[in-house]
Amino acid sequence: MSQYVSRLAGTLVSPPRLRIPGHPRKPRRVAMLSVHTSPLHQPGTGDAGGMNVYIVELAKRLAAINIEVEIFTRSTTGGLPPSVELAPGVLVRHVDAGPYEGLAKEELPAQLCAFTHGVMQAWAGQRPGYYDLVHSHYWLSGHVGWLAAERWGAPLVHAMHTMAKVKNAALAEGDTPEPPARVIGETQIVRAADRLIANTSEEADELVRFYEADPGKVAVVHPGVNLDLFTPADGRAAARARLGLPQDAFVPLFAGRIQPLKAPDVLLRAVAVLLDRDPSLRRRLVVPVVGGPSGSGLAKPEGLHKLAARLGIADVVRFRPPVGQEALADWFRAASVLVMPSYSESFGLVAIEAQAAGTPVVAAAVGGLPVAVRNGQTGFLIPGHEPEAYAQALTRFIDRPELVDRMGLAASRHAQSFGWDTAASATADVYTAAVHDHRGRVRSHHG
């Protein structure tokens, strides 16, 4: 049905294509729901991140294989047009629900009624059966999707992206646990969905283990990466020249939302360990932190700057605001290594993007990162979050600069198997199976 990961070999395997009697058709039009983050927003700002990229890329590739996608998202500024064409066959519909500005993600559950009303209004103007399927992203959208799918008599496909129980089981120090309401909500969605899409086999296992999902409903589809954009292009030297980085520097990069979950502080502490051991490194070390505060990080937006000052490394750290995808690809090319010390990561799209650009990755061995990174070949996976362990991994690159190029080459090869076309066709297979099962249930119900 989709690509999955062979546990033993750790390799990508393509199972036989799903054969369903009677040649069921794939859906013609899908209502995609993304309540809390707009596909039009800049990833790395506020709550916008990998999920935005996921939705945009998936929708475009689905449209390319003749599945029209309409994405419903909450209006976050006044005066937005009701709908915007994102690409041929992909429409973004803005729904008014709650105040435009200053509404935290934690306050959104109270606006789900208003959001659902907006979705129903858009649907009311269409002929019956207009949407063949609902695909919701993240638990907030799942609740709207559950109601919409029931009302429209359409199947519901849901992607968790992250799960409260998994996050709470691996909480960063000082981070806020996910509320019980979210846990209850996720449990309800798991029960209601016709199909659940997991990023990795591990996530599929977690759905079954933590939420008692029916294993027959869970499909594993690896997210893709834009292989046209994230490429080694004209190389590290040219990217550094464009970004004003010294050619001979060792550049460990952090790119992502600045919040305890993503653990950028672990990189800063590891850098302090490196400089403590070898003060001469200071002359050739540049540590870019590209991203904006998000989630529980918004409470202390200056926290990371203060930590850098306290550790005595403020002179080597360069804080940069979030950037667009093209500029991000340049940061990846320019870096010696990407560092991802996250506490929880359903997939770790950034790790694949960096590798596609020819950059090795040092990452925490959590969530989907062991699928995204081949330990010892395209980077190093670190058990736990001890700065000492990250410093050790970085030292291997510092001591053997050729490792950066060798692993970088292997990384860009590895990333080629994560194209969005593969992800879209696997997702279309999941849709087809959901439509088929749903029809079967409806028939037996009426029979």
Ligand-binding annotation for 323, yes or no, is yes
Is residue 312 a part of any domain in this protein?
yes
Is residue 290 a part of any domain in this protein?
yes
Radius of gyration of the chain from its Cα atoms, rounded to whole angstroms = 22
Round to whole Å and give the CA distance between 324 and 94: 22
Ligand-binding annotation for 52, yes or no, is yes
Ligand-binding annotation for 386, yes or no, is no
Residues 243 and 208 in one domain: no
Place of tokens 């999902």: 213
Predicted confidence band of residue 6 (pLDDT cuts 50, 70, 90): very low
What does the pLDDT look like over 344-365, one tens digit per residue?
887 888 999 999 999 999 999 9
Ligand-binding annotation for 105, yes or no, is yes
Ligand-binding annotation for 333, yes or no, is yes
pLDDT for 131 equals 97
Predicted confidence band of residue 188 (pLDDT cuts 50, 70, 90): very high
Residues 130 and 111 in one domain: yes
Is residue 230 over pLDDT 80?
yes
Residues 152 and 266 in one domain: no
Residues 88 and 132 in one domain: yes
Ligand-binding annotation for 211, yes or no, is no
Among 347, 406, 398, 346, smallest CA distance to 376 is for: 406
Q: Supply the DSSP symbol for 23.
A: -
Is residue 166 over pLDDT 70?
yes
Is residue 7 over pLDDT 70?
no
Strand order from edge to edge, sheet including 337-340: 317-320, 287-290, 252-255, 337-340, 361-364, 379-382
Structure tokens at 74: 């909450």
Structure tokens at 443: 């028939």
Instruction: Work out the average pLDDT over 266-292.
Output: 96
Mean pLDDT for all residues in the chain? 89
pLDDT for 299 equals 66
Amino acid present at 19: R
pLDDT for 241 equals 98
CATH number, residue 366: 3.40.50.2000
Whether the CB-CB separation of 277 and 232 falls below 8 Å is answered with no
Is residue 17 a part of any domain in this protein?
no
Q: Where are the alpha helices (DSSP H) in 153-280?
A: 164-169, 180-192, 201-211, 235-243, 264-277
Whether the CB-CB separation of 260 and 178 falls below 8 Å is answered with no
For residues 288, 289, 290, 294, the Cα torsion angle rounded to the nearest 10 degrees is: 180
Is residue 367 over pLDDT 90?
no
Pairing mode, strands 156-159 and 68-74 = unpaired
Ligand-binding annotation for 120, yes or no, is no
Ligand-binding annotation for 217, yes or no, is no
Pairing mode, strands 156-159 and 252-255 = unpaired
Side-chain-side CA neighbours of residue 311 (13 Å): 24
Residues 72 and 198 in one domain: yes
Whether the CB-CB separation of 381 and 365 falls below 8 Å is answered with yes
Residues 155 and 173 in one domain: yes
Ligand-binding annotation for 21, yes or no, is no
Instruction: Work out the average pLDDT over 254-261.
Output: 88
Ligand-binding annotation for 110, yes or no, is no
Range of the domain at 259: 236-416
Burial of 318 (C-beta count, 10 Å sphere; 0-12/13-18/19+): middle
Ligand-binding annotation for 70, yes or no, is no
Predicted confidence band of residue 298 (pLDDT cuts 50, 70, 90): low
Is residue 240 over pLDDT 50?
yes
Ligand-binding annotation for 50, yes or no, is yes
**Residue 12, helix vs strand vs coil:** strand
Residues 177 and 303 in one domain: no
Among 384, 363, 383, smallest CA distance to 374 is for: 363
Ligand-binding annotation for 345, yes or no, is yes
Residues 201 and 250 in one domain: no
The residue with greater pLDDT, 190 or 6, is: 190
User: Alpha carbon of 400 to those of 251, 283, 336, 395, 406: distances in Å?
Assistant: 14, 18, 12, 8, 10
The residue with greater pLDDT, 137 or 171, is: 137
The residue with greater pLDDT, 232 or 10, is: 232
What does the pLDDT look like over 15-67, one tens digit per residue?
334 444 555 688 999 999 999 788 887 555 455 567 888 899 999 999 999 99
Residues 202 and 318 in one domain: no
Ligand-binding annotation for 257, yes or no, is yes
Instruction: Work out the average pLDDT over 122-134.
Output: 92
Is residue 298 a part of any domain in this protein?
yes
Task: Give the least confident one: 20-24, 331-335, 346-350, 376-380.
Answer: 20-24
Is residue 168 over pLDDT 60?
yes
Whether the CB-CB separation of 35 and 144 falls below 8 Å is answered with yes
Is residue 65 a part of any domain in this protein?
yes
What does the pLDDT look like over 384-431, one tens digit per residue?
999 999 999 999 999 999 999 999 999 999 999 899 999 999 999 999
Instruction: Work out the average pLDDT over 340-344.
Output: 92
Ligand-binding annotation for 194, yes or no, is no
User: Alpha carbon of 145 to those of 108, 270, 434: distances in Å?
Assistant: 15, 43, 14
User: Alpha carbon of 126 to those of 63, 121, 167, 295, 442: distances in Å?
Assistant: 20, 9, 39, 37, 22
Residues 247 and 358 in one domain: yes
Place of tokens 């006044």: 78
Residues 87 and 100 in one domain: yes
The residue with greater pLDDT, 126 or 40, is: 126
Ligand-binding annotation for 209, yes or no, is no
Is residue 23 a part of any domain in this protein?
no
Place of tokens 């998994």: 166
Predicted confidence band of residue 2 (pLDDT cuts 50, 70, 90): very low
Among 343, 344, 361, smallest CA distance to 352 is for: 361
Ligand-binding annotation for 395, yes or no, is no
How many structural domains are present in the chain? Answer: 2
289 forms beta bridges with: 254, 319
Among 120, 116, 118, smallest CA distance to 131 is for: 120
Ligand-binding annotation for 42, yes or no, is yes
Residues 190 and 259 in one domain: no
User: Alpha carbon of 219 to those of 21, 306, 371: distances in Å?
Assistant: 19, 43, 16
User: Alpha carbon of 100 to those of 80, 134, 295: distances in Å?
Assistant: 10, 25, 18
With a pLDDT cut of 70, the percent of the chain lying above it is: 90
Is residue 301 a part of any domain in this protein?
yes
**Residue 46, helix vs strand vs coil:** coil
159 forms beta bridges with: 137, 197
Is residue 391 a part of any domain in this protein?
yes
